[in-house]
Structure 1
Amino acid sequence: MLSRPHADTVNGSQFPNMKELRVQSFGRPIRAFFAFDPTRTGIILCAGDKGGNEKRFYDEMIPVADREYAAHLETLK
């Protein structure tokens, strides 16, 4: 199981099980948002380079991840 500093819960998501994977690529901070659905399948929702304005990054990426996860949950119905 990955924990901080490699993975952490995303604050501000409408889903309490939303997580982010924290990795580096060529020294750049990359974040991949993921969640486990009700069947315990891990779903990678979106990813991006967090370099620069951290607040803007999360303000832009969390709604994308939430939308993708909500759409995925709809396919399970």
Structure 2
Amino acid sequence: MILFFFLFSVLLFILHIAICVWAYRDALKKGRSQEFALLILIGLFFFPVLGLIVYLLIRNDNGSRYRY
């Protein structure tokens, strides 16, 4: 049982780091400054759930979802 919780914790930590790296790279790919991308990385590292929600709201898709 302890092994399960340990492995689950490690999996969540790896997921957390992967989301931080994804958001950093995504911000750079969308043409944001490196300072902004670093701010996103730090925000997601310390506030994972709230930071991800905020980043998804402000990331600016440039309207690519609703092209006609």
Class of the TM-score when normalised by the shorter of the 2 chains = 0.3 to 0.5
Length-normalised TM-score, structure 2: 0.34
Which has more radius of gyration? Answer: 2
Structure showing the higher helix proportion among its residues: 2
Structure showing the higher strand proportion among its residues: 1
Query: Which structure is richer in relative contact order (CA contacts within 8 A, separation 6 or more)?
Result: 2
